[in-house]
Structure 1
């Protein structure tokens, strides 16, 4: 009798364990849906109100607690994602597909998976914080944009912190020291630019 009860208990425990494991698997594979940008939302990086600025925006949703971080530009999203404490975390990321929405006021129905998107870095189009990374669902759309506005097409995995400063006068402070140098030393730098 004790053996039957023990076997019954072990079978029930195994079934419960399998059920719990399959529920956890479903929870981790289910990708959270993008969240709309609301009036008054602030950028997680710079604190600016997101609404009213041109260009693509970004958002990161943490897998574990479903916390949403919103960004006023794709550039700020990458600045946050590429930090050492975030780069290896498994966040769900969304950006606007700029082939499906207007530049001045991106529509949240055009949010796409940021990791699958293509980006134009260094174009002459600006976002909330100046130069931004124009995001597109297809490589062909990114190339069309690049032909019109300049820049370079990159995949998500190819973007580095160096790309975030492309075309940014504030990011190119290397030329600032030349203005403060004594007169004779500027001639050595003139061939570098």
Structure 2
């Protein structure tokens, strides 16, 4: 009987240690990776264009244990990738430029923000890589001010749809072309 109690005590302790170890590793995997800087030779994951050659906000998705970064020449291309059925439910961290804190012609990577918390102006007269893009902002009031000046509709991340991307949502054709969906 005493031996059975000792075995039970050891099993309970082992289980407790296992649970503690699992919960610690869970916290480590949930740590949010930092945004990655855009380098001069980086190519868009969707279209293959050199990202830094174009104005407007850029996007990136960081996924997996290796924290592989997929970079996009525009928020439009980022959403085109994110909204694909095979990516919609993936666990990835997304970043975009806060256009209230950086220049349109050459966005500064110090202004990268969490894309899921951002507000977007769809259908403005401002162009990004190869034409229409979604202007991204950390604050709704900044997005509204941008929409007042340049046109468009303010939407939250969760409200952006493929229709916003494919129909243009009133977007202009900008630099003479657009990506195909």
TM range (shorter): 0.7 to 0.9
Deviation readout 1:148-171 (Å, 9 max, x if unpaired): 111111000111111013125567
Aligned residues of 2:59 and 2:78 also touching (Cα < 8 A): yes
* Structure 2: distance between partners of 1:36 and 1:103: 17
* Structure 2: distance between partners of 1:15 and 1:49: 51
Q: Give the aligned partner of residue 179 of structure 1.
A: none
- Secondary structure, in 3 states, of the residue corresponding to 1:51? helix
Shift of 1:31: 1.1
Q: Give the aligned partner of residue 78 of structure 2.
A: 77
Name segments (4+ residues, structure 1) moved above 2 Å.
1-5, 167-171
Higher relative contact order (CA 8 A, sep 6+): 2
Gaps of 5+ in 1: 172-193
* Structure 1: distance between partners of 2:136 and 2:74: 10
Q: Give the aligned partner of residue 53 of structure 1.
A: 54
Aligned residues of 2:125 and 2:151 also touching (Cα < 8 A): yes
Larger gyration radius, structure 1 or structure 2: 1
Pairs aligned (count): 172
Shift of 1:63: 4.3
What TM-score does the superposition give when structure 2 sets the normalisation length? 0.88
- Secondary structure, in 3 states, of the residue corresponding to 1:35? coil
Aligned residues of 2:75 and 2:133 also touching (Cα < 8 A): yes
Shift of 1:4: 5.4
* Structure 1: distance between partners of 2:150 and 2:159: 20
Q: Give the aligned partner of residue 91 of structure 2.
A: 90
Q: CA RMSD in A?
A: 1.9
Gaps of 5+ in 2: none
Q: Give the aligned partner of residue 6 of structure 1.
A: 7
What TM-score does the superposition give when structure 1 sets the normalisation length? 0.82
* Structure 1: distance between partners of 2:24 and 2:101: 36
- Secondary structure, in 3 states, of the residue corresponding to 1:11? helix
Q: Give the aligned partner of residue 145 of structure 2.
A: 144
Aligned residues of 1:28 and 1:63 also touching (Cα < 8 A): no
Q: Is 1:44 aligned to 2:68, yes or no?
A: no
